[in-house]
Structure 1
Amino acid sequence: MNNASYQKKIGILGGTFNPIHVGHLLLAQNALEYCGLDKVLIMPSGCSYFKNPMEVASTADRVNMTALAIEDNDRFELSRIEADREGNSYTFETLDILCEQNPDTRYYYIIGADTLFSMETWKKPDAIFNKCTVVCARRNNLSDNEMEDKARYLGEHFKADVILMDIDEIPISSTFIRKQISQGKSCRYYLDDKVIKYIKEHELYMSK
């Protein structure tokens, strides 16, 4: 990224959020505090070329669940920029729009450890790394050396600015949550109570 003077520091946590769970929320909160961010945009994706549409709740349901999960945190803000976009949604396009709309803002793209090892395969990775700082949680099954080597590689090859948080990623997945629900098991403490209620009322992820 260039060294322009920024007035705001805004995080971005994007994802399918199918559904959004405590691991997502803790990652966003940890990044907010670790990097001294003003706020974090919580950004559900729309159509994803990586996902099987048969396994993903509707965009409307995922946006609604996300809104419920973050409504009590005034430092989190729901962003519909990708959810409302038609067709495949690409991160470089999202960052282009945000940086054009808010030139005084520095963006921090918040990711889990696995994503650090795949970002270079995304569409136009140079454009992504040029417009944001990447903030990554560590993961217990990856050594510090592995993650630091990858961050260094991205810096050397893409001029990426990568911050490795000294905070472990929470090992919870939406796949696990959906399996729990389909088997009629409790997701208490994995999901916000309002999200659990929404899932029950709309019969999401339940075995047919």
Structure 2
Amino acid sequence: MRNIRDKLRVARGEAPAELVFTNARLVNVLSAEIYLTNVAVDDGRVVGIGDYDGKETIDLEGAYLAPSLIDGHFHVESTMLTIPEFVRAAVPHGTGAMVIDPHEYANVLGLDGIRYVLESSKNLPIDFFIMLPSCVPATHLETAGARFTADDLALMIADDRIAGVAELMNYPGVFLGMESELAKIRAGKGKAIDGHAPGLRGKNLNAYALAG
């Protein structure tokens, strides 16, 4: 990784970027504009838009250049593909990052399933942000084999690639203050906590949101 001062010099136009995409139709997703410009990239990061010199240039000849798509909630296992094979299918359509809940991996394999997901999603062209399944099994009627408690979540929550605790599907347990569910929220330790409360309204919804 290059020194930030070196990258600032590139951004100011005082040094050439490693790569410049020229003649790009840039899709500005904030202003809803599309305009012809150049995009400078240095050390794997966009450092400027406009007139830049580059050690390497790629003429896009008017092709569209846009940020990648981010999928905010996904279950890769529901595709019946391994994570690398799913990536092979998704990347050509513009997906660059995903927040995933590996619920069924955990249902069957427990913590070993989460470890498999962490390992198999490394060094791929999609960035994976992995949520820890909070309801394993989803109901007391399921007998897939594994069972997660707050203690299990606490074992893995500190991993840098764990983004938080996935959807708390036992929403009655949350708004009624069941210790088993509140402990899972506490196990999140400041990371994201996904809600999951279809149809919940009124004061029970207020209580659910208040829980964290």
Q: TM-score range by the shorter chain?
A: 0.3 to 0.5
Name the structure where strand makes up a greater proportion of residues.
2
Q: Which is greater in Rg?
A: 2
Per chain length, whose mean CA-contact separation is higher, i.e. which structure has more relative contact order (CA < 8 Å, sep 6+)? Answer: 1
When normalised by structure 1's length, the TM-score is 0.33
Structure with more of its chain in helix, by fraction: 1
TM-score (norm 2): 0.32
